[in-house]
């Protein structure tokens, strides 16, 4: 059993090392090295298709004030990002306080988000975060990671000294050791990039901290961070505070 566990650890570590060695691009603002083997056009096409499917199954909000605010903030944040995507900003009638972005700049905001985003600057924190996912190409990066991971699992099944049935266990170890923490890293990175975007767009970046305090008050602290794809709110706020001086310098220069 010990040899099996060590084999799993070595295989998972080898997969993680392969991702680092193969890094070939860098994220905006943070400069973090990325492995991306999926083209921007491919990811954008997938994003546009998925976005249309989601909208077809959703109820689009007809709230004029919400729509105007989301489009106004979205336009300013997208311009601040410097990324020339075919940006779309849509409000979906859904009570869940949420928002999402698909590759190529397709952003949707739930009406329920306005329960926690109390003003335009707090909304800018959310949209900045979602726009950052697009400009940092996080979806393409995750697809690329999964492709490399799948290749590694196939190789492990063919060449490892432990039996083929242990490949499933390796997959579970890889999920906990590679995929989920990596996703948390992307979320934290989107927070940091989004903070810079909202400052460039003329929104007070300190509103991002207010937003997450509102979110924690509304939803509670959530489950254990170890099994989550999102950072714990306390950690999220701490990282935003650490990135705040740079964002405030940009914001104050524009004021």
Catalytic residues: 130
Alpha carbons within 13 A on the beta-carbon side of 201: 28
Select from 130, 115, 116, 127 the least CA-distant residue to 69.
127
C-alpha distance from residue 99 to each of 43, 60, 111, 168 (Å): 19, 13, 9, 33
Q: How far apart are CA 176 and CA 108, in angstroms?
A: 29
Residues 6+ apart with CB under 8 A from 175: none
Select from 129, 131, 122 the least CA-distant residue to 211.
122
List b or e across 38-53, with b for residues whose CB sees 16 or more CB atoms inside 10 angstroms.
beeeebbebbbeebee
Quick count: other Cβ atoms within 10 Å of Cβ 4?
15
Quick count: other Cβ atoms within 10 Å of Cβ 176?
12
Label residue 62 exposed, middle or buried (CB < 10 Å: 0-12, 13-18, 19+): exposed
Q: How far apart are CA 189 and CA 239, in angstroms?
A: 10
């Amino acid at each position: 059993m010990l040899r099996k566990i060590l084999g799993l650890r070595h295989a998972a570590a080898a997969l993680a090392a392969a991702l680092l060695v193969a890094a070939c691009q860098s994220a905006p603002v943070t400069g973090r090295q990325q492995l991306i083997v999926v083209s921007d056009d491919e990811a954008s096409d997938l994003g546009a298709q998925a976005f249309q499917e989601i909208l077809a199954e959703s109820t689009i909000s007809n709230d004029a004030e919400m729509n105007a605010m989301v489009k106004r903030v979205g336009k300013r944040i997208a311009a601040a990002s410097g990324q020339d995507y075919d940006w779309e900003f849509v409000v979906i009638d859904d009570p869940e306080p949420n928002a999402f972005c698909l590759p190529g700049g397709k952003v949707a905001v739930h009406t329920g988000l306005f329960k926690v985003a109390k003003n335009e600057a707090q909304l800018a924190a959310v949209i900045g975060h979602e726009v950052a996912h697009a400009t940092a190409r996080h979806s393409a990066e995750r697809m690329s990671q999964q492709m490399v991971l799948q290749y590694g699992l196939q190789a492990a099944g063919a060449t490892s000294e432990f039996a083929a049935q242990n490949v499933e266990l390796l997959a579970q170890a890889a999920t906990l050791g590679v995929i989920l923490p990596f996703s948390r890293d992307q979320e934290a990175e989107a927070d940091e990039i989004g903070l810079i975007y909202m400052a460039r767009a003329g929104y007070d970046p300190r509103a991002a901290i207010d937003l997450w305090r509102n979110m924690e008050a509304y939803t509670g602290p959530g489950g254990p961070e170890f099994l989550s794809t999102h950072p714990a709110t306390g950690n999220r706020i701490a990282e935003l505070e650490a990135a705040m001086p740079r964002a405030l310098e940009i914001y104050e220069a524009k004021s």
